[in-house]
Amino acid sequence: MPNVETKKGRPEPAHSPLEPLAVRIPTAMQLIGVRRSTVYALIKAGELQTVKLGRATLITMSSLRRLVECP
């Protein structure tokens, strides 16, 4: 991966390798390939864990991973 030099002269990765801890509902829909109503049903059933940040509802990546992993 290419590096980008910072103002202090230290090389840093051009793209952050960090994965988000939580995503908005439209992103979650794309990641698991379901409709909005299905995401809300999974939230209501306790299958997906949410976090409120201001007015935004975020779904944790760990709960998305748990949902799609084979038991």
Residue pLDDT, tens place only, 38-68:
999 999 999 999 999 999 999 999 999 999 9
* pLDDT tens digits, one per residue of 1-29: 455 555 666 666 666 678 899 999 999 99
Which residues, in sequence order, are bridge partners of residue 24? 58
Domain positions in the chain: 20-68
- Is pLDDT larger for residue 36 or for residue 14? 36
Would the pLDDT of 69 be above 80?
yes
Phi, psi of 48, rounded to the nearest 5 degrees: -120, 135
Query: Measuring CA to CA, how many Å separate 3 from each of 6, 11, 18, 51?
Result: 9, 6, 15, 33
Q: Which helix (H) or strand (E) holds 3?
A: strand 3-5
Q: What's the pTM value of the predicted model, to 2 decimals?
A: 0.72
